């Protein structure tokens, strides 16, 4: 194992050399000796290995640059997709609002129709019992039909809300 050479060791060597070979030759020789241990110097093989490592790093950097470019493109596509989803969500919200309004109108219409039918039934009861029976059958089938339509609308609204929730959750994951 090589011993570490200190500054005092170098100065002592220089003094001995000055006495043995003279001041100028000793200064020249000391200038030619490295100021650090030989273990600190890079050998030719070390430089070749570093050059090879640098070449590999350059290749890796080129691959990374390509990957980053692809990622940037993917991010841009995702941003566009998110913008489209946001627009779709806004349209769905508008559609749900329209459906809610339509349901409100239908509820009002159903309420109005019930009121009208009850008034008519009251008038008809006074006129003819046989006619009441006929009107009751019509009223019953009309109620079933209206309830069926109302139920369909409710399921459409629920379906639209579920779809909207799914889109919102998908957009939130992006």
Asked if 26 and 94 sit in the same domain, the reply is no
Q: What is the pLDDT of residue 169?
A: 87
Q: What is the pLDDT of residue 152?
A: 86
Does residue 51 form part of some domain? Answer: no
Q: How many residues does the chain have?
A: 174
Token pair 């019992």 is found at 129
User: Kindly report the CA angle at 92 between 89 and 97, in degrees rounded to 5?
Assistant: 130
Q: Which residues of the chain have pLDDT under 70?
A: 1-3, 37-39, 125, 128, 131-132, 135
Does residue 114 form part of some domain? Answer: yes
Q: What is the DSSP letter of 1?
A: -
Asked if 31 and 109 sit in the same domain, the reply is no
Asked if 20 and 86 sit in the same domain, the reply is no
Asked if 88 and 139 sit in the same domain, the reply is yes
Q: Domain tally for the chain?
A: 2
Q: Cα–Cα distance between 162 and 96 in angstroms, integer?
A: 11
Q: In the chain, what is the straight-line distance between the N-terminal and C-terminal CA atoms, in Å?
A: 61
Asked if 133 and 87 sit in the same domain, the reply is yes
For residue 34, which phi and psi values (nearest 5 degrees)? -70, 150
Asked if 11 and 95 sit in the same domain, the reply is no
Domain range enclosing 87: 78-173
Does residue 132 form part of some domain? Answer: yes
pTM, entire model: 0.37
Q: What is the pLDDT of residue 38?
A: 67
Does residue 67 form part of some domain? Answer: no
Does residue 60 form part of some domain? Answer: no
Q: Cα–Cα distance between 174 and 172 in angstroms, integer?
A: 5
Does residue 134 form part of some domain? Answer: yes
Separation in Å, CA 145 to CA 32, 133, 138: 109, 19, 11
Does residue 47 form part of some domain? Answer: no
- CA 7, 9, 12, 17 dihedral sign is negative
Does residue 17 form part of some domain? Answer: yes
Q: What is the pLDDT of residue 165?
A: 86
């Amino acid at each position: 194992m090589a011993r570490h050479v200190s500054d005092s060791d170098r100065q002592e060597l220089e003094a001995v050399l000055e006495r043995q070979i003279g001041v100028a030759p000793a200064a020249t020789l000391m200038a030619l000796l490295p100021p650090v241990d030989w273990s600190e110097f890079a050998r030719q093989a070390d430089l070749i290995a570093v050059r090879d490592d640098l070449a590999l790093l350059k290749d890796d950097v080129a691959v990374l640059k390509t990957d980053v470019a692809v990622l940037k493109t993917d991010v841009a596509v995702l941003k566009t997709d998110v913008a489209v989803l946001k627009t779709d969500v806004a349209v769905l919200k508008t559609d749900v609002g329209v459906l809610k309004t339509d349901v409100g109108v239908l509820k009002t219409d159903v309420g109005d129709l019930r009121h009208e039918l009850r008034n008519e039934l009251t008038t008809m009861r006074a006129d003819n019992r046989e006619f009441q029976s006929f009107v009751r059958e019509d009223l019953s089938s009309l109620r079933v039909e209206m309830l069926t339509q109302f139920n369909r609308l409710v399921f459409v609204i629920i379906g639209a809300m579920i779809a909207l929730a799914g889109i919102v959750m998908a957009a939130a994951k992006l």
